[in-house]
Structures are given as structure tokens and as C-alpha cells.
């Protein structure tokens, strides 16, 4: 999946360098989800997925960048976010997407849980080349 928005000028950039950045990203996604007309339930799902992915970007990727913004495609409106890091990448994607598997001390629900919470989910990674995760939640 390519970047979900057509106008890069409308995209917000958020660094992920410390724990406080995860909170800031949650707040930014909440504002975008509210402005994008997502229901309260869908706002919560998008915020939760973004929080998990931002935390993964920080902990496993060593930090990175989040791009977030409104998405319009085929007459539908939503919110998209791209989480990018230059960390070690994921050697076994299938294993990493398995519920309960963790490479650290977490519960192992970050990637798989995030995938279930959003409508579109794309993971691109390779060992030694970092990870990029793109998510979209569409307004109903």
C-alpha cells in the first residue's frame, strides 16, 4: 500500500523518540478521527491501533516517524497513519503477526491486535531495513 493520502501538504509529521511522543500521537489521531467523522467506537479503535504501533516504533524500531492525515478514496473518508522506523526490521512476519508472540516483554498483541482494529493494514519490513506499517480506519 502506498501512502494513503493524495495531498502531502495536509499530512501531519510526528517524531517518535520518547514515551511522551506516543501520547502526542494518540492525541493527534483522536483529533483527526473526530474531524474525519469516525464514530466513537471507531475513534477508539484507531487511537488504540496507533498507540500500539507508535510504541512498537519506539521500542523495537528505536524510534522513527509517524505521518497521519485525512484519507479520501472512492468517495469514502477516513484517517490514515504511516509508522516508519529504521530499526532491525522483522525477520519472520508470520510469527510476528501471531497473537501472543512477542520479541520483548509485551503481551504480543501490538501488530496482530492493530490489524484487527483497523480497516486497512499494510506491513513492509525486512531484516536490517526497518519497518513501515500503514493503517486506515474508514468512517461508516
CA-nearest of 29, 23, 83 to 53 is: 83
pLDDT at 107: 46
| pLDDT of 108 higher than 50 | no
pLDDT at 52: 92
Query: How open is the CA angle 94-104-81, to the nearest 5 degrees?
Result: 65
Strands (E), 40-99: 64-73, 76-85
Work out the average pLDDT over 63-77: 93
The residue with greater pLDDT, 73 or 64, is 64
| pLDDT of 109 higher than 90 | no
d(C-alpha 115, C-alpha 78), whole Å:
16
pLDDT at 25: 97
CA-nearest of 52, 49, 59, 51 to 17 is: 59
Reading the block at residue 50, the C-alpha cell is 496507533
d(C-alpha 57, C-alpha 119), whole Å:
20
What DSSP line would sit under 28-77, residue for residue? HHHHHHHHTT--HHHHHHHHHHHHHHHHHHHHTTSSEEEEEEEEEETTEE
Work out the average pLDDT over 5-21: 84
Amino acid at each position: 500500500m502506498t501512502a494513503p493520502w493524495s495531498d502531502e501538504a495536509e499530512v501531519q509529521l510526528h517524531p517518535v523518540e520518547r514515551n511522551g511522543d506516543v501520547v502526542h500521537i494518540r492525541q493527534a489521531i483522536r483529533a483527526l478521527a473526530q474531524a474525519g467523522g469516525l464514530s466513537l467506537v471507531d475513534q477508539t479503535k484507531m487511537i488504540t491501533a496507533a498507540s500500539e504501533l507508535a510504541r512498537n516504533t519506539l521500542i523495537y524500531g528505536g524510534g522513527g516517524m509517524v505521518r497521519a492525515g485525512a484519507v479520501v478514496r472512492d468517495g469514502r473518508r477516513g484517517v490514515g497513519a504511516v509508522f516508519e522506523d529504521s530499526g532491525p526490521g522483522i525477520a519472520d512476519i508470520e510469527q510476528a503477526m501471531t497473537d501472543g508472540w512477542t520479541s520483548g516483554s509485551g503481551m504480543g498483541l501490538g501488530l496482530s491486535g492493530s490489524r484487527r482494529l483497523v480497516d486497512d493494514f499494510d506491513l513492509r519490513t525486512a531484516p536490517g531495513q526497518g519497518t513501515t506499517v500503514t493503517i486506515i480506519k474508514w468512517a461508516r
